[in-house]
């Protein structure tokens, strides 16, 4: 079986201008490849950070998961789980809340606005104070949309991945809820991978479930959760195995990524766990 550094070295042959990747265990980085300090646009890998800040606001009592937010009948929970009925972009709902899984950038922007009102400060500042600074993510920022405008480095995101593996900022019950399937059984699309039924999501993170095809490895646990971004970025977490992976590139997600990522992620997990 290839050693983990040898598996990560495969990214040197990926058809991307720049790439950095790191594998994280409960005690920190297990192996890495590339420039961990280079800043990348996160695209939708921003969403798990937004979700974490939202859940901190929930724990602080500023708002509750089942408070109304978004379209009529929608709640904070619906927005986090892409179940509000809002479309990818635009204000007009495409379905009633809780009926379909419709991936929505608008939903996360509406969510951030709701958090802003509840905590009475700009969302980017709340994210920085509640998540980025406590995790020493000094190179990370949110200069725009809470759905897709985050900027970070692999170094910083390994701190967030370690937090997702072994939560300290959130209560264990809240951290478990984040990775639990919300509104089970909803069908929908995984961008780039087509229709999925069921299309499982937690609170701001995608839960792998039984989806096929998928961007994570075909042998990875159904409980694996994370997110990928249109800028060619992803983070996944397997709490049972005690392993997470952060990968950032600067090439738009296209067929190259759909072809390379699943096998690579399987190989990473095998090498990291000895399985």
Other CB atoms within 10 Å distance of the CB of residue 222: 13
Q: What percent of the chain has pLDDT over 70?
A: 100
Q: Do 48 and 35 meet the contact criterion of CB atoms below 8 Å apart? A: no
Q: Do 44 and 38 meet the contact criterion of CB atoms below 8 Å apart? A: no
Q: How far apart are the first and last CA of the chain?
A: 9
Q: What is the mean pLDDT of the chain?
A: 97
Question: 48: which 2 tokens?
Answer: 């798990």
Residue 270 three-state SS: helix
Q: What percent of the chain has pLDDT over 90?
A: 98
Residues pairing with 187 in the sheet: none
Domain count, the chain: 1
What beta strand segments (E) does 130-224 contain? 150-152, 188-190, 194-196, 206-207
Give yes or no for residue 24 having a pLDDT over 90.
yes
d(CA 270, CA 275): 5
Question: What number of CA atoms fall less than 13 Å from residue 147's CA on the CB side?
Answer: 18
Q: Which helix (H) or strand (E) holds 23?
A: strand 19-25
For the segment 21-28, the average pLDDT, to the nearest whole number, is 94
For the segment 156-175, the average pLDDT, to the nearest whole number, is 97
**Per-residue pLDDT, 235:** 98
Residue 119 three-state SS: helix
> Which CATH number fits the domain that encloses residue 26?
3.40.710.10
Distances (CA, A) of 51 to 127, 130, 157, 253: 10, 12, 15, 22
**Per-residue pLDDT, 18:** 98
Under the banding of pLDDT at 50, 70 and 90, the label for residue 275 is confident
The 3 state secondary structure assigned to 190-203 is ECCCEEECCCCECC
For the segment 138-163, the average pLDDT, to the nearest whole number, is 98
**Per-residue pLDDT, 130:** 98
**Per-residue pLDDT, 223:** 98
Question: 237: which 2 tokens?
Answer: 């977490």
pLDDT in tens, 112-135: 999 999 999 999 999 999 999 999
Cβ contacts of 216 within 8 Å, gap of 6 or more:
208, 224, 226, 236, 261, 262, 265
Question: 55: which 2 tokens?
Answer: 């859940």
Under the banding of pLDDT at 50, 70 and 90, the label for residue 1 is confident
Closest to 241 measured CA to CA, from 263, 268, 209, 211: 268
pLDDT in tens, 206-220: 999 999 999 999 999
Residue 152 three-state SS: strand
d(CA 135, CA 188): 33
Q: In terms of residue numbers, what domain contains 93? A: 4-273
Question: 183: which 2 tokens?
Answer: 């509104």
**Per-residue pLDDT, 27:** 87
Q: Do 210 and 224 meet the contact criterion of CB atoms below 8 Å apart? A: no
């Amino acid at each position: 079986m290839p050693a983990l550094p040898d598996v990560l070295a495969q990214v040197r042959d990926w058809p991307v201008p720049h790439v950095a990747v790191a594998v994280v265990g409960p005690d920190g980085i297990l192996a890495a490849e590339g420039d961990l300090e280079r800043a990348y646009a996160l695209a939708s890998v921003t969403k798990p950070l937004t979700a974490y800040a939202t859940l901190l606001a929930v724990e602080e009592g500023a708002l509750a998961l089942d408070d109304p937010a978004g379209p009529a009948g929608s709640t904070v929970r619906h927005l986090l789980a892409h179940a509000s009925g809002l479309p990818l972009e635009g204000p007009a709902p495409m379905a009633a809340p809780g009926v379909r899984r419709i991936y929505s950038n608008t939903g996360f922007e509406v969510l951030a606005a709701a958090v802003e009102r509840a905590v009475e400060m700009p969302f980017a500042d709340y994210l920085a104070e509640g998540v980025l600074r406590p995790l020493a993510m000094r190179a990370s920022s949110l200069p725009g949309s809470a759905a897709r405008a985050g900027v970070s480095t692999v170094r910083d995101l390994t701190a967030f991945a370690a937090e997702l593996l072994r939560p300290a900022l959130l209560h264990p019950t809240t951290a478990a809820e984040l990775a639990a399937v919300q509104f089970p059984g909803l069908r929908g699309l995984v961008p780039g991978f087509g229709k999925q039924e069921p299309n499982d999501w937690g609170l701001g993170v995608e839960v792998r479930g039984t989806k096929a095809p998928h961007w994570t490895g075909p042998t990875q646990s159904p409980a694996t959760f994370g997110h990928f971004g249109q800028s060619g970025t992803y983070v996944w977490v397997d709490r049972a195995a005690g392993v997470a992976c952060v990968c950032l590139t600067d090439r738009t997600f296209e067929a190259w990524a759909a072809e390379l990522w699943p096998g690579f992620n399987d190989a990473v997990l095998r090498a990291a766990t000895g399985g």
